[in-house]
Every structure is written in C-alpha cells, then in structure tokens.
A = this chain, B = another copy of it.
C-alpha cells in the first residue's frame, strides 16, 4: 500500500494564499488563519482589504456566487471559508487544513498520521457546530432572543455532558501519547490540530468562563497544549496583532452570561 499524501514536501516556489472569509468574525476561518500564522506563511485575508483594494464583502460574495474571475472553472463553494492556493480553490475548513498542512509542515508525512489528524479535525468541526447550536438551537434564521429559552436548555446539556466528553476525549488522546516530553495531539510533533484545539479552548473560555473554570481542572494535558500553542512565537505575535479579530457576539463562540451555567 503506497502513500504519499496530498503533498509530501513544502512547496519549493512560494505559493500565494488568499483567504476568503467574513471580515468581522473569527468564525471557522480562524482555524485556517492560525495554521497560516503558525507557519509564518504570508496570506491575504481578502474580505478585510478595503473595497478599492479589491476586498470587502463583495470580494467574498463574488467567490461564493462564482462571478469572480478567480472562481472561473472551479467548483463553486457552498460556504466560506474558502482558500485559494496555487491552482486550487478549496472550501470546508478541515479540507483546507488538510490541503495546506503538508505544504506548511504542520502534519507528519505518513498516511496514518494524516488520516488521524484529519479525523481529529473533523471531530473538532462537529464540536464547533455544537457550540454554535448552544445559542441557535431552533433555527439560524431566528434571532437569539427568540430562542433564548431553548438556548438555555441546550447550553445546560452542552456544559454538563458535551464539553466534558469532547475535551475529555482529547485529554485521553494526549494521555495515550507516551512518547517524548512535549505532548502534542499527534504525539511528538506539532500539527494543525493543536492550533485548532487551542482555538476551541480560547473560544470556550470566552463563551463559558464560569463553566470552563471547573472543567479545566480535569483536562491538564489539553490546557498544556493550549499553553504550548499560545507560546509559539508566530502565534504570540499574531494574537497581539490587529490581525486577530476579538471574539464577539456575531461569531461561533458568544458570551451570553445566561448560558454559562
């Protein structure tokens, strides 16, 4: 059984990276931004450019509706984030990460590691959807205020069972990695999954600060990964820069105190 991954080596020639995502939230695009930032990869966050520089929401919409010349002949994405890299126009967060990680050195070369990394990223994808459901359980087309009762019910179960189950799962994965001193999710080497786990912890701390204070005591290895990622020079610089959009109540992780059991 032969394996060589999507791309096994870093691209020799510098590729151009263009991210298309909502300009005012971290959202799902943040998982892509963190990988690019950790790798020190230059990229354009297109919708955050001014309209006269070819940016703004219009630039994002033109990719989504296929009217942009950059979308010509490409599969039209269903939703953002979308990343343009080399000849590819890629959508779906986990798919984007899987495509860029080998180019950026953020995943090991062997098939088992790559399949495992993607599997974990898709588990994070599912969890992020559950986070979103805490404030919009009934419908995304209704206001939060119109589903607050159901949101409270949803968030209660989410805090009591889902956060512990999900973070406990990653804690057990880290516990099983007996190799080396530095305990990353895939074992000895840092990967994009560590970046994403960091982002989940940051988001949960923002959305559910009271609950997380209790829960974090039981997941020391996950928190250690969070510290390792936060301390990476490129990530630290990014978090201190204006490129990091603050959390807010339009994103996935929202601080509604009434949901923080």
Contacts and interface: CB of A to CB of B under 8 A. Distances in A.
Contacts of A139: 137, 153-154, 157
A246 interface: no
Contacts of A98: 118
A165 B150 CA distance: 25
Contacts of A115: 6, 88, 90, 95, 99
Contacts of A112: 87-88
Interface string A2-19: 111111110100010000
Interface in A62-116: 75-79, 86-88, 90-92, 94-95, 98-99, 111-112, 114-116
Nearest to A176: B76
Contact of A157 (B78, B111, B118, B141): B141
A44 interface: no
B75 A91 contact: no
Contact of A90 (B4, B11, B119): B119
Given A2-B9, A172-B76, A119 B95 contact: yes
Contact of A123 (B2, B15, B92, B99): B92
A163 interface: no
A173 interface: yes
A143 interface: no
A161 interface: yes
Contacts of A240: none
A118 B92 contact: yes
Contacts of A79: 123
Contacts of A129: 126, 129
Given A78-B166, A138-B150, 18 more contacts: A1-B11, A1-B86, A4-B4, A4-B5, A6-B111, A6-B115, A76-B172, A78-B169, A87-B112, A90-B119, A92-B119, A133-B133, A137-B137, A137-B139, A138-B138, A138-B153, A139-B157, A150-B150
Interface of A: 1-9, 11, 15, 75-79, 86-88, 90-92, 94-95, 98-99, 111-112, 114-116, 118-120, 122-123, 126, 129, 133, 137-139, 141-142, 150, 153-154, 157, 161, 166, 169, 172-173, 176
